[in-house]
């Protein structure tokens, strides 16, 4: 147990490697698009505006309140979903050659996958913060809670990713 804990700490200290792996996967995914990862944000934003408009009318709720609720929930759910889906293929489809040819600890690959999804989450955050500020639901203490949430969310994504990778392997 102690040895594995030291391996996790060593993997987190090797941040240049997992940051580069995550950025390479993001670049490869949005290679031929003009907007890059913002294309995914605009596409989901368009979908959520339509859904919020229809559902707010259907349930008699305020559009801006319902849209904010839907945007935050959809963004977090999509990040969790992509983390789990990426983890199912991490060692078998995404990085099998890297694991065969280079001695790299599997923790580094799980951290890079979690970091890639965390970057996507962070690209959605400015829109969420602007909407919170606009709807007067933004408080200064929320920044502190948001930082703690991001740290715990990243660690949780890494742990879930590693558990799903081991189960799927």
Q: What is the pLDDT of residues 97-128, one digit of tens each?
A: 877 888 887 888 888 888 988 888 888 888 88
Question: How many of the other CB atoms lie within 10 Å of CB of 132?
Answer: 17
For residue 83, pLDDT beyond 80:
yes
pLDDT, residue 148, reads 93
Q: What is the pLDDT of residues 11-46, one digit of tens each?
A: 777 778 778 888 888 888 778 777 777 777 888 888
pLDDT tier, 84 (very low <50, low <70, confident <90, very high otherwise): very high
Nearest to 81 by CA among 26, 147, 161, 148: 161
By the 8 A CB rule, do 131 and 63 touch? no
Mean pLDDT for the stretch of residues 69-98: 87
Count of domains for the chain? 1
Nearest to 12 by CA among 116, 149, 109: 109
Question: How many of the other CB atoms lie within 10 Å of CB of 41?
Answer: 17
Whole domain around residue 26: which residue ranges? Answer: 2-168
For residue 10, pLDDT beyond 80:
no
């Amino acid at each position: 147990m102690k040895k594995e804990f030291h391996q996790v700490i060593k993997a987190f200290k090797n941040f240049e490697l997992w940051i580069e792996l995550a950025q390479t996967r993001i670049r490869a995914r949005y290679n031929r698009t003009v907007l890059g990862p913002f294309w995914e944000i605009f596409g989901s934003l368009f979908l959520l505006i339509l859904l919020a408009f229809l559902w707010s009318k259907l349930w008699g709720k305020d559009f801006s309140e319902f849209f904010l609720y839907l945007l935050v929930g959809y963004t977090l759910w999509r990040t969790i979903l992509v983390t789990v889906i990426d983890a199912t293929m991490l060692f078998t489809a995404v990085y099998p050659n890297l694991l065969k040819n280079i001695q790299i600890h599997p923790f580094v690959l799980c951290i890079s996958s979690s970091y890639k999804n965390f970057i996507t989450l962070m690209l959605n955050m400015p829109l969420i913060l602007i909407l919170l500020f606009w709807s007067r639901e933004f408080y200064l203490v929320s920044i502190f809670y948001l930082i703690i949430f991001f740290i715990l969310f990243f660690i949780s994504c890494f742990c879930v990713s590693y558990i799903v990778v081991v189960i799927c392997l």
